[in-house]
Amino acid sequence: MQQLTFTEENYVKAIYSVQHKNETGEVSVNEIAERLNTRPATVTDMLRKLSEKELINYEKYKKITLTESGSTVALMILRKHRLWETFLCDKLNFSWDEVHEVAEQLEHIRSPKLIDRLDAFLDYPKFDPHGDPIPNANGELPASKATLLSESKLNDKYKVVAVNDTSTAFLQQMERYGLNIGSEITVTERMPYDNSLLIRNKNGDEIQLSEKIAENILVV
């Protein structure tokens, strides 16, 4: 696998993330710029470099997709990032809202041997502290049957398995609600006015969640 700069790796990962959130599977320059908090002109310059390295399909004024090689690179970066997040939470007692920024630095470590040993040390976890799937050494993702809490049925019981929003603000809000990965909840009411939900945890406490929050929680 060709060696990339840290910046190039960040772009490949950002394109992968946006591409897999979009229904079309395509990405625009502005979406990448917004994701990386940079100018569209800067993005365009980097896209040319990634295209020359055959990591993306790119033509000016057209949407961008990763090539097969680009997807492989992205999955290996995500593998490192999510394993480091798991290590920081499980072994060093970081909270789930603290690990992302640290993992952003650690994900650029080059040694595949170190990452494989880290994976084994953690007993081959399938999901990170936010519930995101961890690619294995072959770049394969574990299957998930999770659905959005916002699409849940009344009076059914669910378990929180992942969150779409991993920002510090969102995760701290989850903590204030007493919700974490593994929390067991029942949806008791849906407010027709604003689609907010009333849920009950296993202790019997009732919590009202906005539609926006419910759209960022994944359950099974």
Tens digit of each residue's pLDDT (9 = 90 or more) over 115-171: 999 999 999 999 999 999 999 999 999 988 899 999 999 999 999 999 999 999 999
Residue 205 inside a domain? The answer is yes
List the single range of 114-118, 141-145, 187-191, 208-212 with lowest mean pLDDT: 141-145
Residue 29 inside a domain? The answer is yes
Residue 208 inside a domain? The answer is yes
Domain span at residue 203? 147-219
pLDDT of residue 2: 78
Tell me what percent of the residues of the chain surpass a pLDDT of 90: 95
Give pairs for 93-102: CB < 8 Å, separation 24+: 95/171, 95/175, 96/129, 96/130, 96/171, 96/180, 96/181, 97/168, 97/171, 97/172, 97/175, 98/168, 99/129, 100/166, 100/168
pLDDT of residue 180: 95
Mean pLDDT of 99-122: 97
Q: Does residue 87 carry a pLDDT above 90? A: yes
Residue 98 inside a domain? The answer is no
Residue 133 sits at the vertex; the CA angle it makes with 129 and 138, to the nearest 5 degrees, is 130
pLDDT of residue 48: 97
| CB count in 10 Å sphere of residue 59 | 9
pLDDT of residue 194: 95
Q: Which DSSP helix (H) or strand (E) runs through 20?
A: none
Mean pLDDT of 196-210: 95
Instruction: Tell me the whole-structure pTM to 2 decimals.
Output: 0.87
Give the total number of structural domains in the chain.
2
Q: Does residue 98 carry a pLDDT above 70? A: yes
Residue 58 inside a domain? The answer is yes
How many Å apart are CA 143 and CA 151, to the nearest integer?
Answer: 20
Domain boundary among 40, 66, 92: 66
Residue 103 inside a domain? The answer is no
Domain boundary among 66, 84, 102: 66
Pairing verdict, β 157-163 and 147-148 = unpaired
Residue 50 inside a domain? The answer is yes
The secondary structure of residue 61, as a DSSP letter, is T
Domain boundary among 21, 48, 66: 66
pLDDT of residue 52: 97
Would you say how long the chain is, in residues? 220
Residue 1's pLDDT band (cuts 50, 70, 90): low
Q: What CATH number does the domain containing 49 carry? A: 1.10.10.10
Residue 135 inside a domain? The answer is no
pLDDT of residue 144: 86
